[in-house]
Amino acid sequence: MNLAKLGGDIIFFGEDAVGALSTELASTKKRAFIVMTGNILDELGLLKPVTDALEKGGFTWEKFTDIEEDATFTSIKKGIEAMKKFEPDWIIGFGGGSAMDAAKTMWIFYENPEVSELAEVAAPKTFAKLREKAKLCCIPTSAGTGSEVTRLAVVKDVDKLQKFVIVCRKGRMIPDVAILDPQFSLTMPKGLTSSTGIDAITHAIESYTSTTTNPYSEGPAMAGLKLAFEYLPTAYENGKDPVAREKMLIAANLAGMAFANSLLGIVHSIAHSFGGEFGVPHGLANAITLPYIIEFHKSDEKVSERYRQLANLLGSNSLLESVKTLNDKVDIPKGMKDFIRKRLKADNDEAFEKHCGTIVEKAKKDIATLGAPVKPTDEQWEELVKLAYYGK
């Protein structure tokens, strides 16, 4: 049996889509719990349109801002306690993938108080008990993860230095409402615009070539890829352009639908592994790794044909060249080396060399590897991980 689900109940998009919060959330208790990564959105004045709309709709709200850029279960647990005390009937994930994934995870534990550990929910499951206490609305501020329409959440376990994926097989974790309002991404920094944008492009490409690709994932993958290639350079160069921002939000949303209805591949496996081990941001790790994996896969005839189809869609002769050109245009580095060295305050590559084997092992076991159309050999895994670190 196959199953496709392209989103929750409804997606509001475009100028002032946030107004939907005052009129479109069916609610008896009128209590909204907003999950965010820090106070930056509040400081930028971006929380106010959200709370204004909620108040106009008669909501009492509370915010929880203790989520890191890379959501950890440690901070999520604090949020679950705050949520239990506040007793919301709407949970609002407001921010990038981390805020939305944290909101999804808190929601699961809020609805299922009998579970308390990440390991109990981290594997494909069917969460029967959801929406008994609250519904979920997600408002993305970056255009990358598409988490507002996906059926999964990625959470970091700091003790195990590993990222866990929580998935509901039947798509019950897909937020009920998604709001794509360009006003929230106008101030996104350039580096985040480029890395999250290429993350969306990676979702489109990996889902299109994955082992489970199907017409329901191909449609949004193609539409999302085309939009992202067209509008990412403008969104990067001129962040205040509301049209480019809106189109990028839609592109990421479509690419999210695509991979939610198929699988990803080893770009994501390697990115998850580097993220868990060295804290490389998800989008950046994907953007750096993507060209190396396209190059690796293109020797396979079937995958190569799929790449040709996507290149045609972009009016190009080579998907690899198109991706490389776009990466250069939006200043994506060739390897993760500089980022990791800077983060570790190291002047050599000792830490990477020491952990290279672990990165490979974690990538092999990553859930995204299931979608890879061609599985690398042990030697190739190591080669690819080294390329992602050192670049070429």
Give contact residues for Fe ion (rule: CB under 5 A): 199
Q: How far is the CA of 27 from the CAs of 90, 128, 182, 253, in angstroms?
A: 8, 21, 26, 25
**Minimum CB–partner distance for residue 32 and Fe ion (Å):** 27
**In a 3-state reduction of DSSP, which class is residue 175?**
coil
The smaller minimum CB distance to Fe ion, of residues 271 and 384, is found at: 271
* Cβ pair 104, 147 in contact under 8 A: yes
The smaller minimum CB distance to Fe ion, of residues 101 and 199, is found at: 199
The smaller minimum CB distance to Fe ion, of residues 12 and 274, is found at: 274
Q: Say how far apart CA 19 and CA 22 lie, in whole Å.
A: 6
Reading the block at residue 20, the tokens are 């939907």
The smaller minimum CB distance to Fe ion, of residues 290 and 359, is found at: 290
CB-neighbour burial class of residue 350 (10 A; exposed 0-12, middle 13-18, buried 19+):
exposed
Q: Say how far apart CA 277 and CA 384 lie, in whole Å.
A: 16
Of 256, 224, 262, nearest to 149 by C-alpha is: 256
The smaller minimum CB distance to Fe ion, of residues 67 and 271, is found at: 271
The smaller minimum CB distance to Fe ion, of residues 57 and 197, is found at: 197
**Minimum CB–partner distance for residue 224 and Fe ion (Å):** 12
User: Which element (helix H / strand E) includes 171?
Assistant: none
Q: Say how far apart CA 213 and CA 261 lie, in whole Å.
A: 8
**Minimum CB–partner distance for residue 317 and Fe ion (Å):** 27
The smaller minimum CB distance to Fe ion, of residues 203 and 298, is found at: 203
The closest residue (CB) to Fe ion is 199
Residues contacting residue 90 through CB under 8 Å, at least 6 positions apart: 25, 27, 31, 32, 33, 59, 134, 135, 136, 137
**Minimum CB–partner distance for residue 336 and Fe ion (Å):** 15
In one-letter notation, the amino acid at residue 251 is: A
* Cβ pair 63, 31 in contact under 8 A: no
Q: Say how far apart CA 184 and CA 192 lie, in whole Å.
A: 13
**Minimum CB–partner distance for residue 93 and Fe ion (Å):** 16
The smaller minimum CB distance to Fe ion, of residues 130 and 257, is found at: 257
**Minimum CB–partner distance for residue 270 and Fe ion (Å):** 12
Q: How far is the CA of 317 from the CAs of 303, 310, 312, 314, 323, in angstroms?
A: 15, 10, 7, 9, 12
Helices 266-278 and 378-390, axial angle in degrees (round to 10): 60
The smaller minimum CB distance to Fe ion, of residues 181 and 199, is found at: 199
**Minimum CB–partner distance for residue 185 and Fe ion (Å):** 17
**Minimum CB–partner distance for residue 265 and Fe ion (Å):** 11
**Minimum CB–partner distance for residue 379 and Fe ion (Å):** 26
